[in-house]
Amino acid sequence: MQKTRTLEFAMIIEGEITLVLDLEEVHLKAGETVVLRGVNHSWSNRSGNPCTVAFSSHDGRY
């Protein structure tokens, strides 16, 4: 898992992926977007198919 000091936007372009957090997992599909700020997280593609994700990171001072 990683914890960044940035504000991160992740938009699922194609396929599906699982966002793994400390206490839960979130299944994301194409067209969905998630915003992360200072949380432990990792990504897991459990579908067996390719997944394309667009990331944007910004200064996360808060």
Instruction: Please tell me the total count of domains within the chain.
Output: 1
pLDDT in tens, 2-61: 787 889 999 999 999 999 999 999 999 999 999 998 899 999 999 999 999 999 999 867
Q: In terms of residues, how long is the chain?
A: 62
**Residue 1 domain-assigned (yes or no):** no
- Its domain, for residue 49, covers 6-59
Distance of alpha carbon 15 from alpha carbon 32, whole angstroms? 11
Q: Can you give the pLDDT at residue 62?
A: 59
Q: Is residue 10 part of a domain?
A: yes
14 backbone dihedrals φ, ψ, rounded to 5°: -150, 140
- Cβ–Cβ under 8 Å, residues 15 and 51: yes
- pLDDT tens digits for 5-21? 889 999 999 999 999 99
